[in-house]
Structure 1
Amino acid sequence: MTGGDITQYFDYLFMIMLLFIGLTIIRLQNLFAVVMLTGVYSLIAAAWFVSLGAADVAITEAAVGAGISTVLLLAAMLLTAREAKPTTAFRHWAALVVMAAAGVAVFYALGDLPVYGAADTPANTGPGMAYIERTPSEINIPNVVTAVLASYRGFDTMGEVFVVFAAGVGVALLLNLSGAGRREEDGE
Structure 2
Amino acid sequence: METLVINVLMVLMAITVWVIVRNRNLFSVIVLGGIYSFFMATVLVAMDAVDVAMTEAAVGAGISTVLLLGALYLCKSEEARPPSKPLIPLLVSLSVGGMLVYGTLGLPEFSDPQAPIHTHVAPRYLNEIKQEVDVPNAVTAVLASYRGYDTLGETTVVFTAGAGVVALLRRRRKGRKP
TM-score calculated relative to the size of structure 1? 0.73
Identity, % of aligned pairs?
A: 40
Superimposed CA distance per residue, residues 78-107 of structure 1 (whole angstroms, 9 cap, x where no aligned partner): 222111223468449x759957x949x76x
Alignment counterpart, residue 124 of structure 2, candidates 111, 120, 130: 130
Q: Corresponding residue for 1:10?
A: 5
Q: Is the 8 A contact 1:29 1:84 kept in 2?
A: yes
Q: Is the 8 A contact 1:43 1:62 kept in 2?
A: yes
Q: Which runs of 5+ in 1 are unaligned?
A: 1-5
Alignment counterpart, residue 53 of structure 1, candidates 35, 48, 61: 48
Q: How do residues 4-153 of structure 1 correspond to structure 2 at under 5 angstroms?
A: 6-87=1-82, 90-91=85-86, 95=90, 98=93, 102=97, 114=109, 116=111, 119-153=113-147
CA distance in 2, matches of 1:113, 1:7: 20
Q: Relative contact order (alpha carbons < 8 A, sep ≥ 6): 1 or 2 greater?
A: 1
Q: Secondary structure at the match of 1:140?
A: coil
CA distance in 1, matches of 2:64, 2:124: 36
CA distance in 2, matches of 1:120, 1:87: 50
Q: Which runs of 5+ in 2 are unaligned?
A: none
The Cα RMSD (Å) is: 3.6
TM-score calculated relative to the size of structure 2? 0.76
Q: Corresponding residue for 1:154?
A: 148
CA distance in 1, matches of 2:167, 2:118: 43
